[in-house]
Amino acid sequence: MISAMSDDRDPNGYIEAEEIPPVRVMQGDDRPKKNVKKGKKLRLKLNVLRLVSVFLLLMLVFVGICLINSHKRNAELESRLKELTQENGRLVSAGDLEAGTEAARREGLAEGRIELKAELMEKLSVPGATSADVLRELYDDYVYYISDNTYHFVKINESLPNNGIKASELVTDENGFKDHIKDGVKDSLRVVDVSQFQKKDIDWEAVKAAGVDGCMIRVGFRGYGSGALVEDDCFETNMKAAQAAGLKLGVYFFTQAVDTAEAVEEAEYVLERIKGYKIDLAVALDVEVPDATARANDLTPAERTDLAEAFLKRISEAGYTPMIYVNTYGMFGMLDVERVYSYPIWFAFYNDYIYYPYEVKMWQYTEGAAVDGIKGGVDMNVWFQ
């Protein structure tokens, strides 16, 4: 049975072909711009891929060379280790190295002890040498003092001015007086210090004739028990007679102040009593421990330094040269040396040299000097000009 056909079919059953336009081949600028850009990007990507591939290849070659060299180096080290093993019989392990180091250290210590003993024996065999002298020489970058039966060593502060005084410059004359002579020139004064312990019968004219240039006379003291201010029994007598004999004058006061008010009180006490006298040298504060039960013994170095500065400041304000009298323990055990070193220092050390590394104005080198006009031994000093 033949089905019905639509109107667009020809009667023979074929679809009529549409007219096909002729094909046009595009050339040059006739091609679409979008396709041209895509081609350029594709070529760029291909070039980048080529470069990356070359770079990776080069890296692989480099790594391979490094591995080959490392292998060769390891082989050389293994060969060298075998040689060392054959030469020395065995290799040194970490434990062996530590043991060898410890043995060497002990051997070095043993040798050091032997050398130290020999050096100590040599130094102590010198006539007149003491163990204290030897310690000072061995520990020349420290200052040591003894307190409570204990040795204390204080590192020398290299930033503070050094006194620069050489032992060879301290010359003793035929009468036992010391002078500082540098480059053949004497640049010091001979100064005696006295108190009521030398009594009132000092012949100051004879003292002057003996070659003494000046004197430090005690004004007084504060009682280390009562705390009372006391004038030295011989103060006025000594000041008048020494001044009349033509000696240069200086004074000192023994402190036992326990607070700033007392320190200033001591300074005012001194200033009141030296009125009318020409003070050529200095006004000194004597810092010492007079007794195991003294009232100022419990002060710390910082507290004692505060009080010393209060006294010295008041003396300086009055127009006089302030000074501190100390020994080794006084300076390094009782005070803060970094705070007081800048004041003129009167240092007590009984020897042929000065055991004080910093600048010093006066050195008390003996308590037993024989001086014409004074009965018995007396303190003698070198005043450095």
Picking from 51, 83, 115, the residue at the C-terminal end of a domain is 83
In-domain check, residue 294 = yes
Please choose, from the candidates 184, 167, 217, the residue with its C-alpha nearest in 3D space to the C-alpha of residue 379.
217
- What residues are paired with 146 via a beta bridge? 151
Pick the range with the lowest mean pLDDT from 14-23, 67-76, 94-103, 327-336. Answer: 14-23
Residue 79 sits at φ, ψ, to 5 deg, of: -65, -40
Co-location of 55 and 187 in the same domain: no
Number of domains in the chain: 2
In-domain check, residue 35 = no
pLDDT tens readout for residues 338-382: 999 999 999 999 999 999 999 999 999 999 999 999 999 999 999
- Give the number of C-alpha atoms closer than 13 A to the C-alpha of residue 296, restricted to the C-beta side: 29
Distances (CA, A) of 356 to 9, 165, 291: 136, 10, 25
In-domain check, residue 269 = yes
Please say whether the beta carbons of 222 and 288 come within 8 A: no
Secondary structure class of 267 (helix, strand, coil): helix
Which two three-digit tokens encode residue 289? 């421990």
Query: Whole-angstrom Cα distance, residue 331 to residue 333?
Result: 6
How does residue 200 score in pLDDT terms, banded at 50, 70 and 90?
confident
**Does 161 score more than 90 pLDDT?**
yes
Co-location of 61 and 197 in the same domain: no
Name the residue range of residue 72's domain: 41-83
Co-location of 77 and 168 in the same domain: no
Distances (CA, A) of 218 to 324, 325, 335: 13, 12, 22
**Does 7 score more than 50 pLDDT?**
no
CATH number for the domain including 282?
A: 3.20.20.80
Neighbours of 319 (CB within 10 A): 8
Query: Whole-angstrom Cα distance, residue 151 to residue 132?
Result: 11
Co-location of 243 and 370 in the same domain: yes
Residue 164 sits at φ, ψ, to 5 deg, of: 70, 15
Picking from 83, 109, 137, the residue at the C-terminal end of a domain is 83
